[in-house]
Structure 1
Amino acid sequence: MIFAIWLRMNLKESPVFEKVNDAETVAPAAAQDTSLGAMFKSKSFWLATGLRFGQAGNSGLIQTFLAGYLVQTLLFDKAIPTDALMISSILGFLTIPLLGWLSDKVGRRLPYILLNISAIILAYPMLSIIVDKSYAPGVIMLSIIVIHNFAVLGLFALENITMAEMFGSRNRFTRMAISKEAGGLVAVGFGPVLAGIFCNMTGSWWPIVAMLVAYSLIGLVSALLMPEVRDRDLSEAEDAAEAPHKEAVAYGALSSRR
């Protein structure tokens, strides 16, 4: 925390933010509705919230609920989920920047779509292995690592840069912060509780699979509906989904110059 405070105190504002502030000091920008009501009407806000909701929901299920479920309900050795998540997080130091680099090459939408589809496909086979004590601990840990990287860390790698690019320069900080925190609060706060209730009601691990699929579907739909935001001009005042034609023209022009 001390390092984070020091870093933020010595970190300059982004050039885009300073440019917008300087421009408004010289000549105030055209009137723009920055109220909460306008935010809730913004398509970009709800798409960003959906992307965050899917990733955070999967994170709460796998990193919080599933680890406890294996130990407390299925009586697994607590080292199995703990070590698996630790190893997976260490691997994230490679997979997260790799996916970020890849999204700079192919765009944000395609990796989001592929990761969410992969999480949906892998949910049942990975969970069926994870909850089965007949498998060797190494196999169970590998299954946790695979679903964790696809359903959580992979999406996290894309989340922050994509959400920042989805909002215009006038509202970027506020709308990104609210969509990120609101989506995470609801998904992580209520997801494990609901999973516990459903698992107790059914006496089965199937609700975990169903919720993983549901969260991934929310992320998938949001990714399918969002505009491509890679290489978007961050000085644009409008949110990305509110100016699709302009962004498409700019992106096409940039691609042709390449």
Structure 2
Amino acid sequence: MSAAPTVTAQKGMSTRRVVLASFIGTAIEWYDFYLYGTAAALVFNKLFFPSFSALAGTLLALSTYTAGFIARPLGGIVMGHFGDRVGRKSMLVLSLLMMGTATTLIGVLPTYAVAGVWAPVLLVVLRMVQGFGVGGEWGGAVLMAVEHAPRNSRGYFGAWPQVGVPAGLLLANGVFITLTSALGDAAFSTWGWRIPFLLSAALVLVGLFIRLQIEESPDFQQVVDAGDVDRRPLMTLVRTQRRTVLLAAGVKIMQNSIFYIFTVFVLTYVTTVLGLSKSVALTGVLISSALSLFSLLFFGWLSDQYGRRRVYLAGTIASTLFAFPFFWLLDTRSTLLIWVAMVIGMIGHDMMYGPQAAYFSELFDARVRYSGASLGYQFSSLLAGGLSPVLAVALLGVANNHHWPIAVYMIVVGAISLVALRFSPETYRGDRLTQTGAPQECP
């Protein structure tokens, strides 16, 4: 009589362990990824592009930031392929190693004053290694969490790896704020900026230890046991579910675009256009990221109750309508209202990002799920996340530091996501996640 409760308790403990490992590993990887974004917006223009104006140097620094996004689809394709062939766990370990190594090497990279043109070249190479690693990270982390989760709680458990994103951002910006306050701008710009990158080595060791303890995904193991592993998952995906991949990319484009405007471009806008201290924007990012630790879980849970598509749609509409009000609040130059703008913006974002892990996982069948979820996610990240801060800075220069073209851009990507959602299915009560046979195109 006691065997069933014991098995259930053990399964629950295993799920919690996997979710914790996904969250911690993802937080470390995104700490690495966001360190670069913060440094690109604040100090890399002076260190690697010193011969250009402040705005042009920032644009070039953010362009190297975009290089990471160019590599992300490639990482998603390669690691998605092997994640569907040899398992989710091994790809999670590999992605963490790649991110940690690249980030640590950025911490010892010579600047333009020492190495000349080789400095930005090496910076771009290491940024692309980061992008490749994080391109394979997301699919593996969310699939491990979702595929271990009870059927009626996939949204909630799938949101835990998503929480790793603001946790990494919170950690990265927290380290930057602490160091700039402790060292001062001069010392931080000279050598202090290296410390956050070097800290990555210790964090990666912690993440590796945790990830090596978890079990492989039960859904993938079921595919293996059935002898149903697809040797060419990407080709199968393109042949049978390419429409779903494109819809997933369209659904994501709004969420990804506004996230980097709210967390990266805002640093440039507040300091360059508004002439305020960088601590104003960094503190706003910290506050909104801290709240996201809870709101992402809430919206993931809400999608278990009312549906992924419904919650996602509400977030897309709210974020589109907030495009102009966001900048109106920033332009008041009131520290409090700037923080309010950033918090409201991130809540709308979290309504999309919280359910996204479960939603994208449920769109694809087990044999090609790593490839499908990763490709839809990372293709959109290249078009949206990689370009949005660079495009925003470029539009800012064209419009003589006026925000209206950027707000219009946010509305356009919102419209794209709304159209994609219109043609995307609801998934939260379906059983696609448990299917291991040949994939079928979503209606």
Structure 1 contact 116–216 (Cα < 8 Å) conserved: yes
Tell me: CA distance 1:123–1:36, structure 2 relative to 1, closer, same or farther (3 Å). same
Counterpart of 1:167? Answer: 364
Asked if 1:199 corresponds to 2:399, the answer is no
Select 1:101's aligned residue among 301, 319, 331.
301
1:45-73, Cα deviation, whole Å (9 max, x unpaired): 11111222221111121111122111112
- % identical equivalent positions: 24
Select 1:56's aligned residue among 242, 256, 270.
256
Which runs of structure 2 are paired with 1:221-232 in the superposition (5 Å)? 221-232=419-430
1:108-155, Cα deviation, whole Å (9 max, x unpaired): 01011111001111111222111222xx321221111101221x3332
Counterpart of 1:138? Answer: 336
Deviates more, 1:37-46 or 1:10-19: 37-46
Counterpart of 1:256? Answer: none
Tell me: CA distance 1:79–1:126, structure 2 relative to 1, closer, same or farther (3 Å). same
Q: Matched residues in 2 for 1:243 and 1:196: separation?
A: 38
Asked if 1:235 corresponds to 2:434, the answer is yes
Counterpart of 2:271? Answer: 71
Structure 2: stretches of 5+ with no match in the other structure: 1-203
Asked if 1:82 corresponds to 2:263, the answer is no
Which runs of structure 2 are paired with 1:149-168 in the superposition (5 Å)? 149-150=347-348, 152-168=349-365
Tell me: CA distance 1:243–1:178, structure 2 relative to 1, closer, same or farther (3 Å). closer
SS in 2 for 1:132: coil
Which runs of structure 2 are paired with 1:111-122 in the superposition (5 Å)? 111-122=311-322
Q: Give the AA of the match of 1:173.
A: Y
Pairwise CA distance, 1:100: 0.6
Structure 2 contact 253–416 (Cα < 8 Å) conserved: yes
Equivalences, count: 237
Structure 2 contact 253–384 (Cα < 8 Å) conserved: yes
Q: Give the AA of the match of 2:434.
A: S
Tell me: CA distance 1:2–1:29, structure 2 relative to 1, closer, same or farther (3 Å). closer
Superposition RMSD on alpha carbons, in Å? 2.4
Q: Matched residues in 2 for 1:159 and 1:29: separation?
A: 25
Q: Matched residues in 2 for 1:93 and 1:29: separation?
A: 36
Structure 2 contact 248–420 (Cα < 8 Å) conserved: yes
Moved over 3 A (4+): 28-34, 237-240
Q: Matched residues in 1 for 2:442 and 2:391: separation?
A: 38
Asked if 1:42 corresponds to 2:242, the answer is yes
Q: Give the AA of the match of 1:66.
A: V
SS in 2 for 1:146: helix
Structure 2 contact 363–442 (Cα < 8 Å) conserved: no
Q: Matched residues in 1 for 2:413 and 2:240: separation?
A: 21
Deviates more, 1:106-115 or 1:179-188: 179-188
Counterpart of 2:129? Answer: none
Q: Matched residues in 1 for 2:220 and 2:409: separation?
A: 39
Structure 1 contact 113–223 (Cα < 8 Å) conserved: yes
Q: Matched residues in 1 for 2:206 and 2:230: separation?
A: 39
Q: Matched residues in 1 for 2:230 and 2:260: separation?
A: 42
Pairwise CA distance, 1:31: 10
Select 2:418's aligned residue among 197, 220, 224.
220
Asked if 1:8 corresponds to 2:223, the answer is no
Pairwise CA distance, 1:95: 0.6
Tell me: CA distance 1:48–1:6, structure 2 relative to 1, closer, same or farther (3 Å). farther
Structure 1: stretches of 5+ with no match in the other structure: 245-258
Pairwise CA distance, 1:186: 2.7
Q: Give the AA of the match of 1:45.
A: V
Q: Give the AA of the match of 1:147.
A: G
